[in-house]
Structure 1
């Protein structure tokens, strides 16, 4: 190549590289903004998902994390029920005062899991699956309501301050803080089947803003994520200016993902058999409906707001071929739009190991039952 042409070509490459680094927020950007979050892929780890003190029955090991790494995954989300790391009398309902009684020994155990996961190349997202005053699931009696009671909000900020301080010096490349799992406004905070709706936007903004400020007081670079409103399904326009990423879900439609799941259906014995694509009950289920569902999230990422799918997958009662057909479309839409995702669990009903499906030809994997078809789908997405 002639020297003049080489210099010209090199200059164009340098210019393109510089333009690609333009960030959202400048008035005259030349390229459309991209999803600022990496397209992480991985799993939720359920070690501390229960309000009860962890028993070790579902303990994630270094070997499990090594498998994830070897298979090409780089993300774990750790949903935590705050009561599991508290000291209080569990023979009765917790009091508002006891919400502050931290059990440092359990907090140390959670911190050890975070550190081990990072050792195996995982970005770790800490999530309060149950926060003071709210959880999408019943089974533990909350003393107040996060959205309406100031005392619950103060406790919420206190817990996030503790976690942010614990990981104060950890890079945002290695850890993020997912504020609250699947927020909604529920009539009875202790009855998951009671009437629910989206959290009013101004209230969600108030709580998310204060929690993010508490976290970033410890480290202004901490990465904060907020789950979508209305049980994770809806974009939160009220917080787009707060430098908070948002997390969508991969459970739509529930007729596929939660077929016969008792916590999601009142009558599990009279549900139409899932099909994909196909007519299920009074709706025709298809890829088009998925594309319409995810379009607001895609648009959000194109505005320069970070988007990740923090939970997705399918319970084990959906026929396997239907699940794979549906989830192939889900992951294809997310991946084409550079949105990463995390399967609800690694080992268990939603997972690639020991899912308990009756219609899978499992492969033996070090004593576990591996759904190789599902794993192949994930690694190719």
Structure 2
């Protein structure tokens, strides 16, 4: 899809769908611990396993030296990885993951009006009549207020607007900044005191405080942040009453605390202009390195998991960085996540320029953390929980929940204790709805489950999240490639956890052994070649039909013809009753007798009980039975047209093995990269002026390219052979 639009203040845009589907994060390579290996063979493996994108987190401390200069070694690694991805047809998202601590500088302070100097300061009457504002002696200098001087406000006539006002407040209230305006007050009668807060943009918030006891000092606060979060206050008005009244007020200040006067906040990325300019400058330098790559290959992610005091603060900073990028690259995809650790519930608060359609919204999904970060050492409230957890359903039992500390209980309750696919779908649906409203793509940039979580629950959760994302058409990127959340063996370019990989794979779309995707596939068997449990039932793409070996619990075979030779990277029999002992053979040719030449060495030889991952359903609307995934990933793709499962012994003493579906990942042998007509050309020429230039974009040409034809991609020449 091509669209043309013009972002506000920028160049005209050409918009194409970036189209992310199944990806994985390459964490801990150019970020955080930076302790994993990442090689070309890893990218080739991911491509063989049908991943279509990788996210590369990069830290400021890894990419830039202490003096602010670029780290040449790190940028060389990044460029090399992008070239690997281009070679194996994966897209890349470069994520600025962690900023240095030098984004903090100094502090910001609230005002404290204590009137001990005998001056009213900035407090004045808002009317020339009916209201008096002056400094007075404290009428009761004892108890919670022993100050000698206080502000005295006297209302001498009935009014619903007259009071004492303070201009030039210049405080921005927020849930994580100056949330409360605190004060000590004494009123000569019961009833409400009204506080009016006016923001620079004209927004007004009213807060009331009800005095229950007259002529007594009370320490209290009001909190206008609900309506004014992210907005700067320009004026405060204090109205004693609607009728004549008298009050004394003291120690007026904005505080971060509900229980005290905490009136100083460290300057951070969210409130310090120098830190924000530094952030924008980082992106100018990163852009200078990466803008050479095609727009359909690489995207920029502005910042991983921002934790701004308010969504408004993050939106404003993101807009600054985006504007800087757009000065040179109107067509580059820029990924902008939600505030508060890319929380999915914060996506509805993302605001972006209305006419910029080259933005991708992103969120991270780890709900519930009790499950996904079970016993994770860096999660202080969850690290020491030893009670069992599960998914789906009640994550932790009522009895076990009651044994936890109050802080842990609160953290768990905040996300909810009951989770299932429907709840996951409702949460992710919030992000989808916002993206649709803005006309933008949305992508789950991280999801994953720590390896201390019970295996059945871990795999079920990963599969449900991936399936929900696919149902919504949302790309999803697993955290992580290696480590406690990963599935790849360190330094080996081999899959260490095929079950975890299998939980993310989109078999509906990618299975080459399904008639839904491959009309040429045929199935055969020693037992039940045809009929209700015939061989073809395991390739029909229907999860409620299956092939069965009947009562044959001993040796028998089921095999398929894929129609042509593939480089097979992974197989996963989806059993109803599994073969306790079996072998898998592969062949590329038939013999003179028409039987595939299987050879003598099996590609897979298995003798074990299965139970590592059993589902009672496979997808919505499909009833059930046991679905037992049995994935096998080959260290290197195996060429095969014919694949045979030879049962040697069934897991059942009465029934032979039974197969819902045979699932196979593979790439056609000698599959050439399809060639697409370029839309780039030279900047001064329209696309149609370059009819002879093509790119390796994955779009088929109308005429078959000839050997020796030269094509261009990213400034490089490619020759068709």
Q: TM-score, normalised on structure 2?
A: 0.40
Across the aligned residues of Structure 1 and Structure 2, the Cα RMSD in angstroms comes to 2.7
Structure 1 distance, partners of 2:419, 2:306, is 26
Is 1:71–2:78 an aligned residue pair? no
The Cα offsets for residues 118-177 of structure 1, whole Å up to 9 and x where unpaired, read as 221111101111124599xxxxxxx96211111111111111111112122322210000
Kept in 2: contact 1:146–1:153 (CA 8 A): yes
Deviation at 1:327, TM superposition (A): 1.5
Question: Is 1:43 matched up with 2:153?
Answer: no
Structure 2 residue corresponding to 1:145, chosen from 268, 275, 291: 268
Matches within 5 A, 1:292-371: 292-303=426-437, 304-354=439-489, 368=494, 370-371=496-497
Structure 1 unmatched ranges of 5 or more: 1-19, 26-34, 89-97, 136-142, 186-198, 356-364
Please identify which structure carries the higher helix content. Answer: 1
Residues 22 and 79 of structure 1: CA distance in aligned 2, closer, same or farther (over 3 Å): closer
Select which of 74, 78, 81 maps to 1:110: 78
Cα deviations by residue, 1:226-275 (Å, 9 ceiling, x for unpaired): 12212111203322625432111121111111111122233522254221
Q: Find the aligned partners of 1:291 and 1:82 in 2 and give their Cα distance.
A: 35
Q: Aligned in 2, Cα 1:250/1:314: closer, same or farther, shift over 3 Å? A: same
Partner of 2:683: none
2:360 corresponds in structure 1 to: 245
Aligned to 1:372, which of 480, 495, 498? 498
Contact 1:312–1:341 (CA<8 Å) still a contact in 2?
Answer: yes
Provide the residue aligned with 2:421 in structure 1.
287
CA distance in 2, matches of 1:87, 1:319: 42
Gaps of 5+ in 2: 7-15, 104-265, 399-416, 508-721
TM-score normalised per structure 1: 0.74
For residue 385 of structure 2, what is the aligned residue in structure 1?
270
Give the C-alpha shift of residue 377 in structure 1. 2.2
Q: Is the 8 A contact 1:309 1:342 kept in 2?
A: yes
Aligned to 2:323: 213
1:313-343 CA-partner distances (Å, limit 9, x unpaired): 1111001110111121111110011101111
- In structure 1, what is the Cα distance between the partners aligned to 2:41 and 2:305? 30
Q: Which moved more, 1:264-273 or 1:201-210?
A: 264-273
Could you tell me whether the CA contact under 8 Å between 2:370 and 2:382 is conserved in 1? Answer: no
**SS in structure 2 opposite 1:245?**
strand
User: Are the structure 2 counterparts of residues 61 and 73 from structure 1 closer, same or farther at C-alpha, using a change threshold of 3 Å?
Assistant: same
C-alpha contact 1:126 1:175 (8 A) present in aligned 2: yes
Verify the 8 A CA contact 2:366 2:372 in the aligned structure 1: yes
Asked if residue 125 in structure 1 is aligned to residue 93 in structure 2, the reply is yes
2:440 aligns to what SS in structure 1? coil
1:1-40 equivalences under 5 Å are 36-40=17-21
1:168 aligns with 2:291: yes
- Structure number, greater radius of gyration: 2
Question: Aligned residue for 1:4?
Answer: none
1: CA distance, partners of 2:87 / 2:486: 22
Change over 3 Å in CA distance of 1:24–1:165 after alignment to 2: closer
Give the aligned partner of residue 13 of structure 1: none
The alpha carbon displacement at 1:23 in A equals 8.6
The one-character-per-residue Cα deviations of 1:177-213 (angstroms, maximum 9, x if unpaired) are: 001111113xxxxxxxxxxxxx423221221111112
Equivalents in 2 of 1:351, 1:277: separation in Å?
Answer: 22
Q: Secondary structure at 1:256's aligned position in 2?
A: helix
1-side partners of 2:493 and 2:73: how far apart? Answer: 31
